[in-house]
Structure 1
Amino acid sequence: MGQAMFYHLTRSPLEVALPMLLAKSLQSGWHVVVRGTDAGRLDWLDRTLWTVSDDGFLPHGLAGGPHDALQPVLLTTGREAPNRAQCLMAVDGAEVSAADCETVERACILFDGNDPKAVERARGQWRALTAAGIAAQYWSEEGGRWQKKAESGG
């Protein structure tokens, strides 16, 4: 059973925090599915991920192409992970269920700490996942660097 990691974005926008987490996941040898709620926003993320670094790029693709199963990082609004992802990253309020956590090593919920609705949605996901027995950690960057602020054993 996987672990849920909540990332409370207060200093870094999604386009900064997500590439950092994706790079760490790829370094671990994991395939990742990034689940969003809006196809237009994922299209924007797709373009952004191609230009995040002068040193290189994060290999990825948008779901719906002929090579979805081969993508190390797949951006999707769907619930499936045709790339056999070991890590699920949910952005923009995308739902993560206990069943999702059971199919991956790690489920990451990234949420905008400057949006009260996003914060409340993340709190609801924390309650639902921990009540279902999923181990969870809450990370905040309020102090200028990522710090673990809470943990539930699941």
Structure 2
Amino acid sequence: MTEVYFYHLQNQPLEKVLPQLLEKCLERGWRCVVQASSDERVQALDQHLWTWRDDSFLPHGLESEANASEQPVLLTISENNANGAKARFFVEGASSENLAGYERAIHLFDGNDPDAVDNARAQWKIAQAAGHAVTYWQQDEAGRWQQKA
């Protein structure tokens, strides 16, 4: 079964948390897919990942590009796994019930948005019902992630 992590974003925005988690996955040797809910969001993430830190960038590409299968991080709105990723990130309400083949699925949701919280709760129930190992993470005041469930 896939490990399904839920990250409750309250103190830091997606644009700060996502690149850090992607780097952790790449350090493990995992390819990643980031599924967003709109093409506009995919384009914004694409631009952000090239410039998110002054001293580095995250190598990535778009599923619509010719070399998608070679990308360590792939941005998409589809449920495809064109690069053979082991980790799948869901942002801004994107979701999929098909987690076969993934080591880990990561839902990042804005804890200040009631709709995002409701969607995360629904995805939690779906993942639990499917028999996945589900955990919930929340940041403390110092910015450290604490497992809450």
Match of 2:114 in 1: 116
* 1:65 aligned residue: 65
Q: CA deviation at 1:143?
A: 3.3
Q: Give the aligned residue type for 1:133.
A: G
TM-score for the superposition, normalised by structure 1: 0.93
Report if aligned partners of 2:61, 2:74 keep a CA contact under 8 Å in 1.
yes
Q: Deviations over 1:96-138 (max 9, x none)?
A: 31x31x2200000000000000001000110111011111110
Q: Number of aligned pairs?
A: 148
What is the identity, as a one-letter code, of the residue corresponding to 1:132? Answer: A
Structure 2's unaligned 5+ residue stretches are: none
Identity of aligned residues (%): 47
Encode CA deviations 1:36-80: one digit per residue, 9 max, x unaligned: 110001100100000111221100011111100000000000010
How much does 1:142 deviate? 4.0
**8 Å contact from structure 1 (residues 10, 142) kept in 2:** no
Moved more, 51-60 or 140-149: 140-149
The 1:125–1:10 alpha-carbon spacing in structure 2 relative to 1, beyond 3 Å, is same
> What is the TM-score with the length of structure 2 in the denominator?
0.96
The residue type paired with residue 80 of structure 1 is N
The separation in 2 between residues aligned to 1:120 and 1:96, in whole angstroms, is: 16
2:79 and 2:96 in contact (8 A); partners too: no
Cα RMSD, aligned residues only: 0.9
Contact 1:139–1:149 (8 Å) recurs in 2: yes
Q: Does 1:147 align with 2:117?
A: no
Any unmatched runs of 5+ in structure 1?
A: none
Query: What amino acid is aligned across from residue 145 of structure 2 in structure 1?
Result: W
